[in-house]
Structure 1
Amino acid sequence: MRLERSIPAEALDAIRAPFLLAGAAPVDAPVLQPLGLLLDLAGEAMRSRLFVVSGDGGDEACLRPDFTVAVARQHLTSGARAGRYLYEGKAFRVAPRSSDRAEEFLQIGVEAFEAADPVAADAEIAALAWAGAAAGGRDDLTLLLGDVGLFAAFVDSLDLTPPLGARLKRTFSRPRQLKAELEGDAAPVATTERSRIAALLAGLPEAEAAAVLQELWSLAGIEPVGGRRPAEIAHRLVEKAEVVRAGRLSQAEADKVRAFLAVSDAPDAALDAIAALAGPNRAPLDVAIEGWRRRLAGMIAGGVPAERLVLNAAFGRAFGYYDGYLFEVRSAALGEERPVAAGGRYDGLPARLGAETTTGAVGCMVRPARAYAGGGE
């Protein structure tokens, strides 16, 4: 396994210092995490980036690829309604576009489960990540911003049919599927037995659809092959059924979505460009844009230089549990594949982990070896 370069203790102390002032309780999350859970949350495409091992009792597990899910699980187990947690430890992941480059790397971060003003919390967390990253001494940093929720509000402004709007929102972090939607190439449902099953499953919540598919397999004595889980197969069958049921984007609608995704600029200019693209139902988008202006003001007040901010409307991350704003601190020397710090909002994750009552959820992390100006990782 590939290890990061070590950095001087004084540099590590400087990078750690802002996190120690965040008012968070120290926590140590288990290294082993359930593989199935991670794939259900982040998507099957993440399998190639996970370090899979045998867990307790022979169940498949993986080394934690980051701390968000692990800390969220601990928070829910504690029974606390709210909490803010500080972690520092190793994470394990296979590098992008590599089948054999397993990485072990240090992360320092904070995860916050709080009911306070989410926009203010977003600004605080982004400023915290910036402070930690900048403490490493690099002078070429940029804070790249995106928002799953902003795309959702833009889609709502187009006043599409609910099934089509929902399907389009789901493609935001799936570039190939989004491209197919915009080009009118979303696969139709073939008139086969499989299509009738898809139509049946499309009327059920996805968890129930997966259970029905598993029961059908059991009754037929079928063993699934290829590593796909019932939840993934059910999800794809439902999507195919929805293509027919919901219809497709018109050319004008597809052009508007392309224009939205092309927006990348200083945040105020980017927000103005997005506002100009609003469809007939613009109220949700106006609310989201106003929230972004407050969020940006909070980041700048928290110490992020305004000239280092970029809002990219198409920016998303591989981990599928982010459902609000998200960001990366990038170094020009390291490039976009090696962010120095990252984070975002994931309000829906606690419920997906079984929480009956939830608060907001937002967090960030920094990789000290990348933040350190004398390092190359």
Structure 2
Amino acid sequence: MRCARSSGVEVRLERSIPAPALDAIRAPLLDAGAVLTDAPVLQPLGLLLDLAGEAMRSRLFVVSGEAGEEACLRPDFTVAVARQHFEGGGGAGRRRYEGKAFRVAPRGSDRAEEFLQLGVEAFETGDRVAADAEMAALAWASAVAGGREDLSLVLGDVSLFSAFVESLDLAPPLAARLTRSFAKPRQLKAELDGDVAAPTGEQSRIAALLAGLPEAEAASVLQELWSLAGIEPVGGRRPAEIARRLVEKADAAKAGRLDPAQADKVRAFLAVSDRPDAALSAIAALAGPKAEALNAVLDGWRARLAGMAQRGVALERATLAAAFGRAFGYYDGYLFEIRSASLGDERPVAAGGRYDGLPAKLGVATDTGAVGFMIRPARAYAGGGE
């Protein structure tokens, strides 16, 4: 491991790996039918924060753009490649990438990681379950090619939680609020504990104004209110994030709270973590009275697992964890991480998932789905220390 300094910031560089090992790790990606592409290193900070949430700010390497606007070095390639794909005409297609990504290390904002990342992003209209299985299989084959013998696969699904909540037949505002909290552990805990605060005074009136508006329009209205009042927000939070929080609090006032039995059901769901087939059975057993959507998602998972097994994924090393999620908030379907026991859970070798809603958030109208994965070769390589 080497460190370098740029503009007073210590940059942590990965240990290089031998060319034959990199070639072996890269080889499965070459069979994905994807076009090799690149994406700008500088990405708009505001866009990434709106997509991934303000919690990501501490992990982003913030710099000044060419025109003085705030930008950041790409923390990964998914958003950058999706933007490039759709700005170039969009439609169905696959993109493969290979290049450096940059993140601030968890220890503090004066340190940053620079690392090589390979991956594939697929924008297609076909069988989405089959595409999910293929992406996981490509990532698994690539990770195994690095030579580690301690790999495992963790699976999850944002849409599985949503379908489970729907099965409970809650009031629609409460179900929507609970679903939104899945990627926010503190907010989810507050929901389960019945500790959800409602807005008061001016907050309540503003929230009522914003409620029902599309997210982008709500953020625009809030920005206009600030401008008229001569207010400059502080603390780094963006209009979209603040508007979202106000609307969520407004929903809390009219949606009520989970009763103890409902909260226990959700806790039991979140506690499910087992071999995939056993986990699916456990979730099915917890279903509420309105289980049609949940049953459809479970059937999709059985087909996905069958496709993964057919493509060589070692499902005996897989765990389906109902509470598993990713830090990047634009993922809205199945998720996975490939981990090495020697590296630990916080340093995945590969990761990916489905993000069908991202094109719309980028302002693109398309009927293509979106799924992909990335792998970090220095972590996959058995001789590496990363």
Q: Of 15, 21, 30, which residue of structure 2 is paired with 1:11?
A: 21
CA deviations on 1:283-338 (whole Å, 9 max, x unpaired) are: 11110001000000111111111211110000000000000000000000000000
**Equivalence for 1:54:** 64
Question: Are 2:56 and 1:36 equivalent residues in the alignment?
Answer: no
Equivalent position of 1:288 in the other structure: 297
**Which residue in 1 is equivalent to 2:89?**
79
Residue from 231, 235, 242 that aligns with 1:233 = 242
- Structure 2: which 5+ residue stretches go unaligned? 1-10
Query: What's the counterpart of residue 148 of structure 2?
Result: 138
Deviations 1:211-232 (A, max 9, x none): 2211111111111111111111
- Partner in structure 1 of residue 5 of structure 2: none
**Aligned ranges 1:53-202 → 2 under 5 Å:** 53-96=63-106, 98-190=108-200, 192-202=201-211
Confirm or deny that 1:212 pairs with 2:227. no
Deviates more, 1:218-227 or 1:366-375: 218-227
Match of 1:268 among 242, 257, 277: 277
How many residues align? The count is 376
Q: TM-score, normalised by structure 2?
A: 0.96
4+ runs of 1 displaced by more than 4 Å? none
SS in 2 for 1:172: helix
Alignment RMSD: 1.0
SS at match of 2:154: strand
- Which residue of structure 2 aligns with residue 346 of structure 1? 355
Contact 1:350 1:358 in 2 (8 A): no
SS in structure 1 of the partner of residue 242 of structure 2:
helix
Residue identity opposite 1:300 in structure 2: A
What is the rounded CA distance, in whole Å, between the counterparts of 1:7 and 1:293 in structure 2?
37
In 2, Cα distance between equivalents of 1:170 and 1:61: 27
User: Match of 2:350, as an amino acid?
Assistant: A
Q: Give the whole-Å Cα distance in 1 for the aligned partners of 2:234 and 2:106.
A: 25
CA shift for structure 1 position 204: 2.2
Q: Deviations over 1:112-155 (max 9, x none)?
A: 00011000000000000000111000000001000001001101
The residue type paired with residue 207 of structure 1 is A
Among candidates 1, 24, 31, match of residue 21 of structure 1: 31
Deviation digits for residues 213-269 of structure 1 (CA, Å, limit 9, x no counterpart): 111111111111111111111111111111011111111111000000000000000
**Cα shift at 1:97:** 5.1
2:319 matched residue in structure 1: 310
- Taking only the aligned residue pairs, the percentage that are identical comes to 78
- Tell me, what secondary structure is at the counterpart of 1:362? strand
| 1:351–1:358 contact (8 Å) kept in structure 2 | no
Residue 378 (structure 2) aligned to one of 352, 369, 373: 369
SS at match of 1:272: helix
Measure the CA separation in 1 of the matches of 2:290 and 2:139: 35
Give me the whole-angstrom Cα distance separating, in 2, the residues matched to 1:85 and 1:37: 21
Query: For the residues of structure 1 that align with 2:295 and 2:106, how far apart are their CA atoms?
Result: 36
Whole-angstrom CA distance in 1 between matches of 2:175 and 2:282: 21
Q: C-alpha separation between the residues in 2 aligned to 1:197 and 1:306?
A: 50
> Offset of 1:101 from its aligned partner?
2.9
Q: Deviations over 1:62-82 (max 9, x none)?
A: 000000001101110111311
| Secondary structure at the counterpart of residue 58 of structure 1 | coil
Report the counterpart of residue 253 of structure 1 in structure 2: 262
TM-score when scaled to structure 1?
A: 0.98
Secondary structure class of the residue paired with 1:133? helix
- Letter of the structure 1 residue corresponding to residue 31 of structure 2: L
Distance (whole Å) between structure 1 residues aligned to residue 158 and residue 266 of structure 2: 14
Where structure 1 has 5 or more consecutive residues not aligned to the other structure, the ranges are none
